[in-house]
């Protein structure tokens, strides 16, 4: 079965890629069928795979977020309101031209 949902807003927290358990058609949750028995099969669409690849963090991004988190927790993180406003307006203007 393929499902192509155009609304992908909550996909990151939905458990895509989690393969710790198989749920059979009877609704029972457990391990995969033993002895090569025919069981349910899941196929991730190309769109879901692409989204999953985009949400995977690189090591550099994770390190950057850890530094930001530590700075914020220590009270060292300060937002430059002027720079933030410029970037927001710049982004809005660039999107309105598309």
Res 77 pLDDT > 80: yes
Cβ(84)–Cβ(43) below 8 Å:
no
Mean pLDDT of 26-33: 51
Q: Which residue has the higher pLDDT, 69 or 8?
A: 69
Assess whether pLDDT exceeds 80 at residue 82.
yes
Residue 48 has a CB neighbour count (10 Å cut-off) of 19
Asked if the model's pLDDT at residue 81 lies above 90, the reply is yes
Model confidence, pTM? 0.35
Q: Where do we find the tokens 């059979």?
A: 24
Domain boundaries, the chain: 22-96
pLDDT at residue 8 greater than cutoff 70: no
Q: What is the structure's pLDDT at 84?
A: 95
The 3-state DSSP class for residue 30 equals: strand
User: CB–CB of 40/25 below 8 Å?
Assistant: yes
């Amino acid at each position: 079965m393929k499902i192509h949902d155009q609304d992908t807003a909550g996909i990151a927290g939905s458990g895509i890629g989690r393969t710790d358990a198989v749920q059979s058609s009877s609704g029972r949750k457990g391990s995969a069928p033993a002895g090569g028995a025919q069981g349910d099969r899941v196929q991730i669409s190309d769109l879901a795979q692409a989204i999953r690849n985009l949400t995977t963090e690189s090591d550099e991004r994770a390190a950057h977020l850890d530094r930001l988190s530590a700075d914020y927790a220590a009270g060292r993180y300060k937002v430059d309101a002027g720079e933030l406003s410029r970037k927001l307006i710049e982004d809005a203007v660039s999107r309105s031209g598309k």
